[in-house]
Structure 1
Amino acid sequence: MATARFPGKSVDVAAANWTAPALGRPVCVNGTPWILYLLEECVDNVWEYCSVVIGLISMFCFLLSTLPQVYEAYRNGKVEEAMSFGFFFFLFSGDLTSFAGCYLTNQLPIQVVTVVFYIFTDLILISQFLYYKIKNNSSRKSPVLKWLCFMWCGAASLVLLALPKLIIDNSSTLDTQSPTTSKSVENTGYICGYLASIFYLCSRFPQLYKNFQRQSTEGTSYLLFALAMMGNGTYGLSVIVVLPALKGSKQTFIIKHLAWLIGSLGVLILDFFVTAQFIMYRKNSSAKSSTLLSVPEVEPLLCEEVELSLL
């Protein structure tokens, strides 16, 4: 999951597409209206248009990716047996540092809100994990545990709903800083981007080991990884598509997005290994289930033979 969802343009290229009227705000002359309204980006050619659309598809895939696992955990109630806590921990750490990078590099408001949503879903997954772990290890059901989880999710929801507005309102302070301070803050944001990529890459290894240890992927939703693969793949594509439209240095553009590209494409590769585990262990589980189904057909016959011999 990356922070810079929409590659966009360099500052010089973006400024060239705006004209400043005598009064009021600058006007985007040849830009696409809906992109200008929704994302505040002046997109005036087909390459940039495709990049933004693919970026939105990537964002949509990431938004939906964790929801199937939330439902799967609710359905079977054994999330602590199926999922690794290291997976949730590194995913949450990646989204936190991604949020810091998003804020420090002054990304679009919609990107800030999206990253906040990722943090919210991470908290739900972690809360589910801890709830079912305590519940399944306890000898008796405790209604207090359920209410504590509800209160935790409710408090987190209120904080995360208020956070985007506070961040967007305070983002203007970054624009009024001196060029030296602004450059330092931006570099810190890119460092956060690299840290986020490392956390995202690290998140897959505990889950790969967990699946290998159990020789099973039961209790894990494959849609979590399938949608993440689609999101990471389309994000990388959105960066590549915009390259022909760049008038500035393509190398500088790639360097600015390198942190998120490493994270997205690296996680994409690791998710192929997770996919291989789903295929292999599904065959194993189907073989085990067919063996178990064949046992009841034999046992009654054996029982009948024993009864006849006794008679």
Structure 2
Amino acid sequence: MATTRFPGKGGDDVAMGANFSNPTLSGPFCVNGTGWILYLLEECVDNVWEYWSVIIGLISMFCFLLSTLPQVYEANRNGKVEEAMSFGFLFFLFSGDLTSFAGCYLTSQLPIQMVTVVFYMFTDMVLFSQYLYYKIKNSSTRENPHLKWACLLWCGSASLFFLVLPKLITDDNASLDTQSHDKSHTMEMSGYVCGYLASIFYLSSRFPQLHKNFRRHSTEGTSYLLFALAMMGNGTYGLSVIVVLPALKGSRRAFLLKHLPWLIGSLGVLVLDFFVTAQFIMYRKSNPAKKSTSLVRVQEVEPLLYEEEELSAL
């Protein structure tokens, strides 16, 4: 996934784009700002470059919000997710979202950002639960009636936790704003460190899945929409940062340096997802050939079996 899967609020934030990089402006400071953006994101946007940066940034967020849902459906339909998905992929993906959440909390992001990153963690939890459920179910020799209920109970309790979590965090953030400047600066720097860690985790997530696909010579059981939507999210994220450059009043170099780690992470994941796409194309073409070869072999063996049966009857 993208290395910064939530928008930022401060000048050095782990931001989704420059459209979210200014402090909150209201009243006389944002006379010509776009109303709905000011209300929803508490961001003053008063020129066409920043406006389109916001739109593209929201498209990027929407792509990431939908990216894991096709894989949840595919895992439920296929029932062999433990054979298709790499545990390392899920582990690094969840670690990236967890550190992104920590960075979002430590840098006192907006409520919409809290809800977004919590949703990412929720979908990761669903993928993990599916993985463990089918791994236990398929490895067991007999049906366990309590397994499904245990899984439902776990998902239900986790869902309640993730529903309450944004409220607890936003309430706690209000108290963080009253802390001393030095302590607040230290927490903010810790949040940026979490952003760097998230970048590393997201980049690392693709290698276990690439290895597993290569070892299996198949992508069956994984949904390509998971990676396609992630590619769209990473691409639009980078575009949302580039689009705002003509409207910058300060140094463009300083701006790019502030966003460079997350741009590298997003573009790095985007490149790795092209390799995943190549695997989907290669193995989709090879699988029908394997099936047709196996059918030919069965057809060749069947007459021999009939002849052996006739001879034994005589």
TM, length-normalised to structure 2: 0.89
CA distance 1:44–1:279, change in 2 (3 Å): same
Is residue 84 of structure 1 aligned with residue 86 of structure 2? Answer: yes
Matched residue, 1:103: 105
Check whether the contact 2:19–2:240 (CA below 8 A) recurs between aligned residues. Answer: no
Matched residue, 2:171: 169
Is residue 189 of structure 1 aligned with residue 191 of structure 2? Answer: yes
Aligned residues: 302
Cα shift at 1:212 = 0.9
Q: For each residue in 1:248-307, what CA deviation from the matched residue of structure 2 results, as whole angstroms up to 9, or x when unmatched?
A: 232332233223222211111111111111111111102112223444555566678889
Tell me how large the CA RMSD over aligned residues is. 2.2
Cα shift at 1:138 = 0.4
After TM superposition, list the pairs within 5 Å mapping 1:1-311 onto structure 2: 1=2, 2=4, 3=6, 4-8=15-19, 10-11=21-22, 14=23, 18-20=26-28, 28-295=30-297, 298=300
Cα shift at 1:213 = 0.8
What secondary structure sits across from 2:45 in the alignment? Answer: coil
TM, length-normalised to structure 1: 0.90
CA distance 1:255–1:106, change in 2 (3 Å): farther
Bigger CA drift: 78-87 or 100-109?
100-109
Bigger CA drift: 181-190 or 63-72?
181-190
Check whether the contact 2:16–2:241 (CA below 8 A) recurs between aligned residues. Answer: no
Mapped to 2, the partners of 1:173 and 1:219 lie a distance apart of 46
Matched residue, 2:12: none
Matched residue, 1:23: none
Cα shift at 1:6 = 4.1
Check whether the contact 2:82–2:135 (CA below 8 A) recurs between aligned residues. Answer: yes
Check whether the contact 1:5–1:111 (CA below 8 A) recurs between aligned residues. Answer: no
Q: For each residue in 1:111-166, what CA deviation from the matched residue of structure 2 results, as whole angstroms up to 9, or x when unmatched?
A: 11111000000000000000000000001111211111111111111111111111
Bigger CA drift: 209-218 or 103-112?
103-112
CA distance 1:174–1:245, change in 2 (3 Å): farther
Mapped to 2, the partners of 1:206 and 1:101 lie a distance apart of 25
Mapped to 2, the partners of 1:209 and 1:300 lie a distance apart of 37
Q: For each residue in 1:220-248, what CA deviation from the matched residue of structure 2 results, as whole angstroms up to 9, or x when unmatched?
A: 11111011000011001101111111112
Mapped to 1, the partners of 2:253 and 2:109 lie a distance apart of 20
Bigger CA drift: 31-40 or 249-258?
249-258
CA distance 1:127–1:32, change in 2 (3 Å): same
Mapped to 2, the partners of 1:156 and 1:10 lie a distance apart of 32
Check whether the contact 2:16–2:57 (CA below 8 A) recurs between aligned residues. Answer: yes
Mapped to 1, the partners of 2:63 and 2:38 lie a distance apart of 22
What secondary structure sits across from 2:143 in the alignment? Answer: coil
% identity of equivalent residues? 72
The amino acid of 1:113's aligned partner reads V
Cα shift at 1:181 = 1.9
Unaligned runs of 5+ in 2: 7-14
Q: For each residue in 1:89-125, what CA deviation from the matched residue of structure 2 results, as whole angstroms up to 9, or x when unmatched?
A: 0000000000111121222221111110000000000
Cα shift at 1:80 = 0.5
Mapped to 2, the partners of 1:47 and 1:40 lie a distance apart of 17
CA distance 1:139–1:41, change in 2 (3 Å): same
The amino acid of 2:53's aligned partner reads S
Check whether the contact 2:63–2:232 (CA below 8 A) recurs between aligned residues. Answer: yes
Check whether the contact 1:10–1:248 (CA below 8 A) recurs between aligned residues. Answer: no
Check whether the contact 2:89–2:209 (CA below 8 A) recurs between aligned residues. Answer: yes
Check whether the contact 1:190–1:259 (CA below 8 A) recurs between aligned residues. Answer: no
